[in-house]
Amino acid sequence: MSCAVLGIDLPIIQAPMAGTATPALAAAVSNAGGLGSISIAAVQAEAGRQMIRETRAGTRKPFNINVFCHRPSVADPAGEQAWLTHLQPYFAEFGVPAPDSIRDIYCSFQNDEGQLEVLLEERPPIVSFHLGLPSQARIDALKKAGIILLASATTLEEGLLAQEAGIDIIVAQGIEAGGHRGVFDPQRGDQGIGTLALVRVLVKHLSRPVIAAGGIMDGAGIAAAMSLGACAAQLGTAFILCPESAANDTYRRMLSSQRAQVTQVTTVISGRPARGIVNRFMAEVGAPGHPEVPGFGIAYDAGKQLIAAAAKAGNAEFAAHWAGQGAALARAMPAAELLDLLWREYLEARA
């Protein structure tokens, strides 16, 4: 099934990456014929509006705006204190006290009124949902505004829910993927289905087109995903080393080193499962026996403060270096050049 509804020339989507994908990156990808994406999940609604406007100013082609749709976390002061006590020695290592309290620092499009208003007013051509779905009323409102909708799914059950809700194209996110797992309800567990199996299952069981995501790093990977019936491939990790991304030098160095060969899914950094390059944060804070991790956004409040303290002390081991299983294949070049290369490799693989 085709994804012509996206209005792009090449079946290549640069994944939304909160904190890493910039308006400049998204615009460069869209201008080169792919679909550029940014996430406004980690910023307040008005800052999101500015990011949408910046992206629009950079391209006349379609682009995608991503929001998170997780169930908003519920505060649990006792649990949060236990978590802060667990993190205290690491803060001490960097000479700063652990915070007294932490709070949810992420917006969820399930209940954020500002994000809804901004999306309806700015009307980006495409909006994508990650970590769940918003209410039917919100989906209907965006569709009525003429916005094409995408949603991540990690299982057939999630894909069916998205399809029934009227999502136009389903993003099959395999366990190989870098960044946060799109699982709707992590409390129910994570099947960890790989991209190959998930794409095929969704293509066979859904009536909507499917985009493949997870571990795709080059044209051969895109061709493989499309052989399975995907209408396009969504690549995140492959774009982190582009000069247009917001990745800092440490992240770039880590992704370009042998360390990129070892990635793992962890919940201890943000409070939700996410895949990144293994470091001390994952290995030590996440060692068996740790206290229960606070909810998404709340744990990330502490995580980001620890990351900032470590960075200030010149320590690269406490960081959220999100990356997929194909990380060792990441290449550094401008986004337009990468798009061109991916397309040439794709044609070669197909020939």
Ligand X SMILES: Cc1cc2nc3c(=O)[nH]c(=O)nc-3n(C[C@H](O)[C@H](O)[C@H](O)COP(=O)(O)O)c2cc1C
350: helix, strand or coil: helix
Comparing CB distances to ligand X, the nearer of 14 and 305 is: 14
Q: What is the distance between the terminal CA atoms of the chain, rounded to a whole angstrom?
A: 21
Residue 303 found at the interface with ligand X (CB under 6 A): no
Contact 130, 69 (CB under 8 A): yes
Stretch that binds ligand X, among 98-106, 200-208, 323-331, 338-346 (CB under 6 A): 323-331
Q: How far apart are CA 147 and CA 25, in angstroms?
A: 21
Comparing CB distances to ligand X, the nearer of 178 and 209 is: 178
Q: How far apart are CA 248 and CA 240, in angstroms?
A: 10
Residue 155 found at the interface with ligand X (CB under 6 A): no
Name the residue among 312, 316, 255 with its Cα closest to residue 280.
Answer: 316
Comparing CB distances to ligand X, the nearer of 84 and 222 is: 222
Tokens at residue 217, please? 């790093």
Q: Where are the beta strands (DSSP E) in 18-125?
A: 36-39, 63-68
Comparing CB distances to ligand X, the nearer of 110 and 237 is: 237
Residue 152 found at the interface with ligand X (CB under 6 A): yes
Mark residues 221-240: x for contact with ligand X by CB under 6 A, - for none.
-------------xxxxx--
Mark residues 32-71: x for contact with ligand X by CB under 6 A, - for none.
-------x-x------------------------x-----
**What part of residues 8-37 is at the interface with ligand X (CB under 6 A)?**
15-18, 20
Q: How far apart are CA 315 and CA 309, in angstroms?
A: 9
**What part of residues 266-295 is at the interface with ligand X (CB under 6 A)?**
none
The residue to which tokens 């080169």 are assigned: 32
Comparing CB distances to ligand X, the nearer of 66 and 98 is: 66
Helices (H), 33-76: 45-58
Q: How far apart are CA 240 and CA 324, in angstroms?
A: 11
Comparing CB distances to ligand X, the nearer of 303 and 324 is: 324
**Residue of 108, 173, 266, 305 interacting with ligand X (CB under 6 A):** 173
Residue 324 found at the interface with ligand X (CB under 6 A): yes
Contact 297, 41 (CB under 8 A): no
Contact 130, 68 (CB under 8 A): yes
Name the residue among 199, 197, 192 with its Cα closest to residue 175.
Answer: 192
Contact 42, 70 (CB under 8 A): no
Stretch that binds ligand X, among 47-55, 208-216, 283-291, 311-319 (CB under 6 A): 208-216
* Size of the residue set binding ligand X (CB under 6 A): 30
Comparing CB distances to ligand X, the nearer of 84 and 170 is: 170
322: helix, strand or coil: strand
Residue 297 found at the interface with ligand X (CB under 6 A): no
Q: Cα angle at 177 between 166 and 312, to 5 degrees?
A: 115
**Residue of 179, 186, 219, 303 interacting with ligand X (CB under 6 A):** 179
Helix-, strand-, coil-residue percentages of the chain, each rounded to 5: 40, 15, 45
Mark residues 101-140: x for contact with ligand X by CB under 6 A, - for none.
---------------------------x-x----------
Question: Smallest distance, Å, CB 131 to ligand X?
Answer: 8
**Residue of 23, 219, 271, 326 interacting with ligand X (CB under 6 A):** 326
**Residue of 80, 176, 218, 244 interacting with ligand X (CB under 6 A):** 176
Q: How far apart are CA 99 and CA 182, in angstroms?
A: 29
Question: Smallest distance, Å, CB 25 to ligand X?
Answer: 11
Q: Which residues bind ligand X (CB under 6 A)?
A: 15-18, 20, 39, 41, 66, 128, 130, 152, 173, 176-180, 213-216, 234-238, 322-324, 326
